[in-house]
Structure 1
Amino acid sequence: MKLRKVTAAAATALVLSLTATACGGDGKSDSADTGSGSGGGDKIKIGIKYDQPGLGLKEPDGSFSGFDVDVATYVAKELGYNEDQIEFVETKSADRENALARGDVKFIAATYSITPERQEKVDFAGPYLLAHQDLLVKADSDITEATDLNGKNLCSVTGSTSAQNVKNDFAPQANLEERSGYSECIAALQSGRVDALTTDDSILAGFAAQEQYKGQFKLAGLKLSNENYGIGVKKGDTETANKINTALEKMVSDKSWNKAVTDNFGPAKYKNEPAPKIGNIVK
């Protein structure tokens, strides 16, 4: 490649340009990660859910809580960021791939199941939790199997495949009632309008662990599907994915992972699976 001479002014401009774009690693500005995380005031944007108690919840005072939040915070610290440098961004399920592609966030920890279809669009670190589709029922319920739902009222969120899976595979005579959010299903279950709520057991445990529901509900303990939660990164960003995997391994080895499970799901007596090995996707 031929080089041409540049003036001192042009050289200075070139240095400034390189300095301004260095954080992107590929010459492009990365709005989700504005620096190295060395404690100098830089920020990292992380996608989470805002409405899932026990996993990703924005509290009334503006703080955040949940297992995904704890995992994301631990990972960010291992990447070199202090807690006050983390900016959590609400990332709804339907927009996760687009948020990563646009660079809105550096990574996403939001009950993000690793699937072949999603792996075509994003890269994943993890998995960091193996969840299963389950049922949440009242504490005194006699529902112990999915087949017990025949003739009963089953609630799930509009657009979810969980309830349809139950009807197709286990209880074709179940009466499906759809709500716009899990909180509405919980209210319906609490009042007796429905007999069960279905989705991932981690989500169900998060709701059941809330103080206002303490002792009212229980998980049936079924494993109707395997959901391998991963941390999504922009397609091709293997460097970040590898760093996150290293952080997740450390989180497991120093017992911080176990503590996060107990802190967020303990009151629901959630019988979680052991921490999965990195790259081990359970079919």
Structure 2
Amino acid sequence: MKLRKVTAASAVALTLALTATACGGGDKDSNSSGGGGKIKIGIKYDQPGLGLKEPNGDYSGFDVDVATYVAGQLGYKPDQIEFVETKSADRENALSRGDVKFIVATYSITPKRQAKVDFAGPYLLAHQDLLVKKDSKISKGTDLNGEKLCSVTGSTSAQNVKDKIAPDAQLKKYSGYSECIAGLQSGAVDAVTTDDSILAGFAAQDKYKGQFKLVGLKLSNENYGIGVKKGDKETLDKINKALEKMVSDGSWQKAVDKNFGPADYKNEPAPKIGNIVQ
């Protein structure tokens, strides 16, 4: 009798284990496709208008809207998305480690990066530009000669301006773009340079609305793509289809207007998938 009881108990335990396995016990990870699971998406946390983690824990910006739309097309509801801060220097590693399923974080498509990751898109064509005060007389690059130009330490944007169009510009490097924008507001600097989308995102903040303008220099072409782990063609194809739908149903333009509109950002038309502007 004792042996039969043990055997019966074991059978029950085994049946329960098999049932749990068959039902997919446990949470699904970012490799699943909706159905109650979670997906991890890499974004920036410190770029207003693009990828920003708000003080209350919410997320906002054009990249966030694109990521949310794409995830929706992959079968995930907003509450199934886990946004992960993905800094520029760690983007390739985050994908190769599997920390995130894909990355939407002002990720410019370049040959060097394409050797390490695959890119869906592009989903936005940005350009290096200048942000100045609304009443500034700076209207072209040469106007920067003798003026104070701000960019972030480690960025090549300011040096690019100095090398190409304004050799006598006075470079001022701060630790972050927030400091540059604050310096522009106070008069400590005369212009800030980086991608026009990033500048527009800052200028669109409530505390800066109406104070700044983009000069419109288009000093470079920045093709923003969605980074995917190298070789993950299935996810790549799904994201490209999602981006095409986002453009065709008007959601892409709505996201542009919502996040950049207050800065009078004259965005390029939505790029075609695979069309990299040199």
Q: Tell whether the structures are fold-level matches, with TM greater than 0.5.
A: yes
Answer whether contact 2:31 2:101 (CA < 8 A) is retained: no
1:269 aligns with 2:264: yes
Instruction: Give the AA of the match of 1:185.
Output: C
Matched residues in 1 for 2:129 and 2:54: separation?
26
* In 1, Cα distance between equivalents of 2:31 and 2:102: 13
Equivalent residue, structure 2, for 1:177: 172
Structure 2 letter corresponding to 1:203: I
Q: Which digits, 9 at most, give the CA deviation of each residue in 1:140-180, with x for residues without a partner? A: 00101111111110000000011110011111111111011
Q: Which residue of 1 aligns with 2:142?
A: 147
CA RMSD of aligned residues (A): 1.7
Q: Which has the larger radius of gyration?
A: 2
SS in 2 for 1:232: strand
Aligned with 1:220 (options 215, 221, 234): 215
- Of 8, 33, 36, which residue of structure 2 is paired with 1:36? 33
The residue that corresponds to 1:106 in the other structure is 101
What TM-score, normalized to structure 1? 0.88
Report 1:81-96 matches (<5 A).
81-96=76-91
Distance 1:120 1:177 in 2: 33
Post-superposition shift, 1:35?
Answer: 2.3
Q: Which deviations, in whole Å up to 9, do the C-alpha atoms of 1:8-27 show, x marking residues without a partner? A: xxxx9xx97xx79x9xxxxx
Whether the aligned pair in 2 keeps the contact of 1:32 and 1:104 (CA below 8 Å) is: no
> Is it true that 1:252 corresponds to 2:255 in the alignment?
no
Aligned counterparts of 2:179 and 2:61: Cα–Cα separation in 1: 20
Residues 1-283 of structure 1 aligned to structure 2 (within 5 Å): 33-38=30-35, 40=36, 42-283=37-278
Q: String of CA shifts for 1:90-142, please: whole Å, max 9, x gaps.
A: 00011100100110000000000000000000000000000000000000001
How far apart are the structure 1 equivalents of 2:263 and 2:189?
20
Unaligned ranges ≥5, structure 1: 1-11, 23-30
Q: Is the 8 A contact 1:55 1:65 kept in 2?
A: yes
Aligned-residue offset at 1:34: 4.8
Q: Which amino acid aligns with 1:102?
A: R
Distance 1:234 1:142 in 2: 46
Q: Distance in 1 between matches of 2:178 and 2:200?
A: 13
Consecutive aligned runs of 4 or more in structure 1 exceeding 4 Å deviation: none
Letter in 1 for 2:150: C
Does the 8 Å CA contact 1:32/1:103 hold for their aligned counterparts? Answer: no
> CA separation in 2, counterparts of 1:172 and 1:267?
32
User: What is the SS of the residue equivalent to 1:142?
Assistant: coil
CA contact (8 A) 1:32 1:106 kept: no
Residue 88 of structure 1: CA displacement?
0.2
Secondary structure, in 3 states, of the residue corresponding to 1:74? Answer: helix
* Distance in structure 1 (CA, Å) of the matches to 2:54 and 2:106: 18
Q: Which residue of 2 aligns with 1:3?
A: none
Q: Distance in 2 between matches of 1:147 and 1:203?
A: 22
Q: 1:119 corresponds to which letter in structure 2?
A: Q
Deviations 1:34-93 (A, max 9, x none): 52212x2x1000000000000000011100000000000000000000110000000001
Amino acid across the alignment from 2:34: G
Please give the per-residue CA displacement for 1:210-267, whole angstroms capped at 9, x wherever unaligned: 0000111000011000000000000111110110000000000000001000000010
**In the alignment, is the contact (CA less than 8 A) between 1:155 and 1:194 conserved in 2?**
yes
TM-score by length of 2: 0.90
